């Protein structure tokens, strides 16, 4: 393909060369330049003895006029040199010869790849970013205490004396449940023991109480029982049948231990 | 001759913030054979918090009762406590039957010695002529056979004594001891 372009360019250059090959340069007397204006003022050049060098002051310099840097700047002086153009302006024209096109050297430029990922701009940073800090001093382990919740039983005290200070109710046995012979034997012993006439006695009950150690004895007619207050010796004393009776004539109480058959 | 029956009556009372208990051993006439009581036990505030509602049952059954029973030379034939204590879930020991006795308002049974079973662990016993029968409640640890054996002993003891009365004596003795210590 480059060969064709090269040939085309060569043909074009040859054509231009042949087209301009017959031209001759003719010297033309320069004519004064006369402006052809309609009613406009004639352009005239005023010759001065000398041009005052214009002072160019840009706005920046004006701003810096009073500043120290502005004062230090040298003013710009324009110098007038020879101007040949004015003389040759209308007298001659310069023929510019164009150099024919030549084949150049083409270099291949690699295309930079497109970025695969568009960069997002304007992304806001997180408003708050915690800064981890390290506690250099570790927490000390708390001490462990132990409180024993066990409930101890405590001491045990003997309290038999205190218990014996309370009256002990003893229920009467049902004499009607006794065998008749046994009850006859008990009645005989009651008469002998109290010396009372059996017809004058009303039996209140048959009780089994300690043979000794009875400190006090009271009859509870409402419940048919006796209340005894005992001493410590009564605990180990044998139990024996005890008959309590009331005299019918004076209401007095009589009692005696009887022997088991 | 068989050994005399021994009845153990246990009662624990709370006086102020302290607990103390007493154990009375009687014969079949109700005459004291032995009586022991514990020193007052005052739980700390921490113990009260840690034990919670189980504090009182634990104190009475595990601490006071066992401490008192250790002092007995021979185990009792019957271990009797109040109906309130038994209703609180008393487990008891297998060595002896644990029961509660209570005077009832029921009509008398036909004759002395009659029993009426009101439940698997509850029965009525007629101990005195014309009187209201005695209500007996056994602990969970007492099986049917042990209940029958216990009823025989209760009838024998009830012929001579008021089976429920000694509990009142234990309570009165403990209160008198507390007043004396104060």
Q: Is residue B102 part of a domain?
A: yes
Residue A35 has pLDDT above 80, yes or no: no
Q: Is residue B153 part of a domain?
A: yes
Total of domains in chain B:
1
pTM of the predicted model as reported, rounded to 2 decimal places: 0.65
**Mean per-residue pLDDT, B81-85:** 87
A208/B32 Cβ within 8 A: no
> What residues contact residue A221 under an 8 Å CB cut-off, 6+ apart?
A204
| Residue from B67, B2, B6, B10 nearest B32 by CA | B6
Q: Which residue has the higher pLDDT, A135 or B26?
A: B26
Residue A20 has pLDDT above 90, yes or no: no
Mutation target to probe the A interface, by most A beta carbons within 10 A, among B5, B11, B25, B31 is B31
- What is the per-residue pLDDT across A83-125, written as a single tens digit (0 to 9) for each? 666 666 666 666 677 777 777 777 777 887 877 777 777 666 6
Q: Which of A152-156, B111-115, B125-129 has the lowest mean pLDDT?
A: A152-156
Residue A66 has pLDDT above 70, yes or no: no
Q: Is residue B1 part of a domain?
A: no
**Residue of B29, B63, B128 with shortest CB distance to A170:** B29
Q: Which residue has the higher pLDDT, B72 or A230?
A: A230
Q: Which of A122-126, A157-161, B133-137 has the lowest mean pLDDT?
A: A122-126
Q: Looking at the complex, does the CB of residue B100 fall below 8 Å from at least one CB of chain A?
A: no
Distance from CA of A201 to the nearest CA of B (A): 23
What is the value of ipTM here, to two decimals?
0.81
pLDDT for position A116: 79
Residue A21 has pLDDT above 80, yes or no: no
Cβ proximity of A172 and A219 under 8 Å: no
Distance from CA of A135 to the nearest CA of B (A): 36
Residues of A in contact with B51 (CB under 8 A): 149, 151
Interface of A with B (CB under 8 A): 147, 149, 151-160, 162-166, 168-171, 173-174, 208-210, 225, 230, 234-235, 239
Count residue pairs from A and B with Cβ separation < 8 A: 104
Q: Looking at the complex, does the CB of residue B156 fall below 8 Å from at least one CB of chain A?
A: no
Residue A57 has pLDDT above 70, yes or no: no
- Most confident range (mean pLDDT) of A82-86, B135-139, B172-176 is B135-139
pLDDT for position B182: 62
The three-state secondary structure class of A56 is coil
Q: Looking at the complex, does the CB of residue B47 fall below 8 Å from at least one CB of chain A?
A: yes
| Residue from B26, B12, B24, B11 nearest B153 by CA | B26
Helices then strands, each counted (H, E), chain B: 6, 8
Q: Which of A65-79, A93-107, A139-153, B138-152 has the lowest mean pLDDT?
A: A65-79
User: Residue B130 sits in a domain of what CATH number?
Assistant: 3.30.2170.10
pLDDT for position A4: 86
Please identify which residue in the block is written with the tokens 């040759």: A88
A156/B71 Cβ within 8 A: yes
A149 pLDDT tier (thresholds 50, 70, 90): confident
pLDDT for position B114: 92
**Mean per-residue pLDDT, A45-54:** 55
Which residues on adjacent β-strands are paired with residue A227? A169, A218
Residue A186 has pLDDT above 80, yes or no: yes
Give percent of chain B with pLDDT exceeding 70: 95
Residues of A in contact with B175 (CB under 8 A): none
The three-state secondary structure class of A216 is strand
**Mean per-residue pLDDT, A48-67:** 56
Please identify which residue in the block is written with the tokens 């602990």: B139
pLDDT for position B77: 92
Distance from CA of A144 to the nearest CA of B (A): 16
Range of the domain at B119: 7-178
Q: Which of A126-135, B61-70, B131-140 has the lowest mean pLDDT?
A: A126-135
The mean of the pLDDT values for chain A is 77
Q: Is residue B41 part of a domain?
A: yes
The three-state secondary structure class of A116 is coil
A62 pLDDT tier (thresholds 50, 70, 90): low
Give percent of chain A with pLDDT exceeding 90: 12
Residues of A in contact with B39 (CB under 8 A): 154-157
Q: Is residue B2 part of a domain?
A: no
- What is the per-residue pLDDT across B5-15, written as a single tens digit (0 to 9) for each? 999 999 998 88
The mean of the pLDDT values for chain B is 88
Mode of pairing for the β-strands spanning B98-103 and B78-81: parallel
pLDDT for position A70: 57
Distance from CA of B146 to the nearest CA of A (A): 27
């Amino acid at each position: 393909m480059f060969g064709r372009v090269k040939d085309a360019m060569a043909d074009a250059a040859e054509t231009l060369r042949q087209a301009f090959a017959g031209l001759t340069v003719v010297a033309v007397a320069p004519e004064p330049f006369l402006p052809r204006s309609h009613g406009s003022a004639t352009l005239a050049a005023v010759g001065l003895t000398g041009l005052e060098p214009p002072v160019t002051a840009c706005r920046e310099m004006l701003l810096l006029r009073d500043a120290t840097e502005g004062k230090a700047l040298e003013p710009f002086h324009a110098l007038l040199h020879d101007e040949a153009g004015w003389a040759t302006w209308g007298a001659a024209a310069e023929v510019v010869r164009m150099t024919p096109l030549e084949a150049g050297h083409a270099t291949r430029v690699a295309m930079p790849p497109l970025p695969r990922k568009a960069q997002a701009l304007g992304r806001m940073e997180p408003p708050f970013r915690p800064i981890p800090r390290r506690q250099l001093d570790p927490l000390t382990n708390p001490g462990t205490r132990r409180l024993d919740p066990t409930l101890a039983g405590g001491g045990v005290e003997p309290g038999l004396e205190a218990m014996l200070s309370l009256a002990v109710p003893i229920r009467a046995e049902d004499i009607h449940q006794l065998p008749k012979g046994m009850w006859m034997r008990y009645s005989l012993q009651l008469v002998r023991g109290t010396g009372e006439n059996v017809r004058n006695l009303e039996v209140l009950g048959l009780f089994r109480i300690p043979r000794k150690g009875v400190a006090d004895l009271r009859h509870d007619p409402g419940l048919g029982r006796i209340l005894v207050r005992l001493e410590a010796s009564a605990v180990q004393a044998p139990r024996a049948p005890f008959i309590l009776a009331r005299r019918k004539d004076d209401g007095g109480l009589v009692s005696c231990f009887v022997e088991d058959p | 001759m068989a050994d005399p029956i021994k009845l153990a009556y246990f009662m624990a009372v709370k006086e102020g913030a302290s607990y103390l208990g007493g154990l009375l051993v009687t014969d079949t006439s109700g005459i004291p054979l032995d009586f022991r009581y514990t020193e007052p036990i005052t739980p700390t505030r921490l113990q009260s918090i840690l034990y919670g509602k189980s504090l009182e049952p634990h104190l009475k059954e595990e601490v006071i009762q066992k401490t008192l029973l250790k002092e007995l030379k021979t185990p009792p034939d019957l271990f009797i406590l109040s109906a309130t204590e038994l209703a609180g879930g008393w487990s008891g020991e297998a060595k002896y039957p644990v029961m509660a006795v209570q005077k009832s308002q029921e009509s008398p049974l036909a004759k002395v010695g009659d029993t009426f079973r009101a439940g698997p662990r509850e029965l009525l016993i007629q101990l005195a002529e014309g009187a209201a029968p005695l209500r007996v409640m056994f602990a969970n640890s007492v099986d049917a056979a042990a209940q029958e054996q216990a009823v025989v002993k209760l009838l024998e003891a009830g012929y001579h004594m008021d089976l429920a009365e000694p509990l009142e004596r234990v309570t009165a003795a403990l209160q008198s001891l507390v007043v004396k210590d104060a």
